[in-house]
Every structure is written in structure tokens, then in C-alpha cells.
């Protein structure tokens, strides 16, 4: 068991000319990117930019949408080619959340969510994790404790709950595909602090369609358009107009 846990801990992601296509359609191409533990990367791109297909590649989720997808180039977790890692291990390394997951919370309660993420053997109670739930801004919303319907939570509380669950997981990479775009402006600062704490032992990739709100959150900014990476560098350099 210890060996497996060690395999699930990585400290670096590296993409080299990483590309994906379905038939004649290119989803993304020639992505070159390196991220290390402690990094928060903000990935900006409009709809159709290829950012979601790229992010799903981290968790081997593209085949569920594109059964005939083909990859070229390389993606490494540490120095290991992702193609040589079994999917179960990859899912333990990568935590991936998108807006579909956020919307699906309306149909379950807290206990059911815990079972989905961790299995029925996971010992969980609101009382046991009260301090952490409060830190993530969720505790006061759980008026029925484990049986609280998640449809009763506000968007900020749902996102706080997902970040709390991410903190419990042993995943080394956390990918948030546009879920923070649902936040009101006044809540961005609170969530930013939570993400900064989570990133101390992880790599975090935050995708967004609204760059202005989140450009100051990350230490690395990546911009994609039409399947290509058009910027990869420091956010402050982008603001100042320095080319990468």
C-alpha cells in the first residue's frame, strides 16, 4: 500500500509538443508546459480554445467524449510518460472538477457525495470535520449535517465544499475547469486564499473564460486560442506586454 501511495505523489508535470486530434479535427496541438508543486496555473481561453480537452487529458477523461481520440507528443508526471501509467493510478494522482460536477450536486446530499468520492467505507461526519468545514465556509450551511441536500447550498458554499473534499484527497494535481467562473466578484478573494493553501503540496490548474477576474490568482498564466498556446509565462509580464 505504501508503494502505491508513493506512486500517486508527483511533484512535476511536463508537456512536450503535446497534441490531440479526432479524425481531421485538431483539439489542441504543440502544448509545451512545465508545472511544479506549489504552482497555481491560470489557463484562460474562450469556448472552442481547446483548454477543456487539454485539461481532461490529465485525468484520461477524453475517451469518454471522443472514443477515437489520438495523441502525439508527450505528457510526463515527474519523469514518467502518462501513457505508461494505468488509469486507476492517474485518477488517484489527478482530481478533476468541471461545471457539470458542480451542477450535479443539486441531486444528492452530503453523505451521498462523500460515498461517491471516497467510497462507503470512508468514515465521515460533519462533527469530525467541523473545523475544516468552517475554514472552507461550508459548516453553517449543513443544517441537516450529513443529510443536508446540496441543492440548498449557495454557489460559494458548493465550491467551498468541493475544495474541502479536494483537501482530503491525496491527489497531487487539482484541475478546476471553469467552476470558479460561477462565483460572484466579492467571493473571489476568499476562494483565492483557499486555493493558495491547497497549492502548498499540490499543482493547481484553474481554467477560466474570464481572465480579468483571475489573472492575479496564479503564478503562471497560460492562454489558449484555437487549440494553440499563445502565451505561457508570468501574469505580470503579460499585463506589462512582455512576450513569452
- Give tens-digit pLDDT for 212-234: 889 988 999 999 999 999 999 99
Q: Is residue 17 part of a domain?
A: no
What CATH number is given to the structural domain containing 107?
3.40.50.300
- For the chain, the residue count is 244
State what percent of residues in the chain have pLDDT above 90: 81
- Listed in sequence order, the residues at least 6 apart from 134 whose beta carbon sits closer than 8 Å to its beta carbon are 140
Q: Is residue 26 part of a domain?
A: no
Q: Is residue 174 part of a domain?
A: yes
* Domain extent for 193: 35-52+90-240
d(CA 213, CA 23): 36
Cell digits of residue 138? 461550508
pLDDT, one tens digit per residue, over 199-217 is 989 999 999 999 988 998 8
Q: Is residue 71 part of a domain?
A: no
- Listed in sequence order, the residues at least 6 apart from 236 whose beta carbon sits closer than 8 Å to its beta carbon are none
Q: Is residue 132 part of a domain?
A: yes
Q: How far is CA 99 from CA 75, 159, 184, 207, in A?
A: 25, 10, 15, 11
d(CA 186, CA 242): 30
Pairing relation of β-strands 203-208 and 40-44? Answer: parallel
Q: Is residue 127 part of a domain?
A: yes
Local confidence band at 242 (pLDDT 50, 70, 90 cut-offs): low
Helical residues (DSSP H) of 47-125, grouped into ranges: 51-58, 87-93, 99-104, 110-118
pLDDT, one tens digit per residue, over 5-53 is 455 689 999 999 999 999 999 999 999 999 999 999 999 999 999 999 9
**Does pTM surpass 0.75?**
yes
Query: Where are the strands (E) in 23-134, listed by range?
Result: 25-36, 40-44, 70-77, 80-81, 94-98
Q: Is residue 28 part of a domain?
A: no
- Listed in sequence order, the residues at least 6 apart from 174 whose beta carbon sits closer than 8 Å to its beta carbon are 94, 95, 97, 166, 198, 202, 203, 204, 205
| Side-chain-side CA neighbours of residue 213 (13 Å) | 18
Strand order in the sheet with 228-233: 94-98, 173-177, 203-208, 40-44, 220-225, 228-233
Name the domain count of the chain.
1
Q: Is residue 45 part of a domain?
A: yes
Amino acid at each position: 500500500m505504501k508503494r502505491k501511495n508513493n506512486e500517486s505523489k508527483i511533484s512535476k508535470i511536463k508537456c512536450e509538443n503535446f497534441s490531440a486530434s479526432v479524425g481531421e479535427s485538431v483539439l489542441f496541438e504543440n502544448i509545451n508546459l512545465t508545472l511544479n508543486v506549489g504552482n497555481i496555473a491560470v489557463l484562460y481561453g474562450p469556448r472552442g480554445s481547446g483548454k477543456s480537452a487539454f485539461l481532461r487529458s490529465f485525468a484520461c477523461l477524453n475517451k469518454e467524449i471522443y472514443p477515437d481520440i489520438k495523441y502525439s507528443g508527450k505528457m510526463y508526471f515527474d519523469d514518467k510518460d502518462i501513457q505508461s501509467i494505468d488509469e486507476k493510478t492517474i485518477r488517484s494522482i489527478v482530481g478533476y472538477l468541471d461545471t457539470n460536477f458542480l451542477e450535479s450536486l443539486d441531486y444528492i446530499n452530503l453523505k451521498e457525495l462523500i460515498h461517491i468520492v471516497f467510497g462507503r467505507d470512508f468514515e465521515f461526519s460533519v462533527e469530525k470535520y467541523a473545523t475544516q468545514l468552517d475554514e472552507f465556509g461550508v459548516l453553517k450551511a449543513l443544517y441537516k449535517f450529513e443529510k443536508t441536500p446540496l441543492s440548498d447550498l449557495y454557489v460559494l458554499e458548493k465550491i467551498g465544499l468541493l475544495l474541502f473534499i479536494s483537501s482530503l484527497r491525496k491527489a497531487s494535481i487539482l484541475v478546476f475547469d471553469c467552476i470558479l467562473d460561477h462565483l460572484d466578484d466579492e467571493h473571489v478573494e476568499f476562494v483565492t486564499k483557499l486555493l493558495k493553501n491547497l497549492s502548498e503540496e499540490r499543482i493547481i490548474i484553474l481554467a477560466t473564460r474570464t481572465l480579468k477576474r483571475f489573472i492575479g490568482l496564479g503564478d503562471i498564466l497560460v492562454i489558449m486560442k484555437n487549440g494553440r498556446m499563445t502565451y505561457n509565462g508570468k501574469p505580470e509580464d503579460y499585463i506589462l506586454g512582455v512576450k513569452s
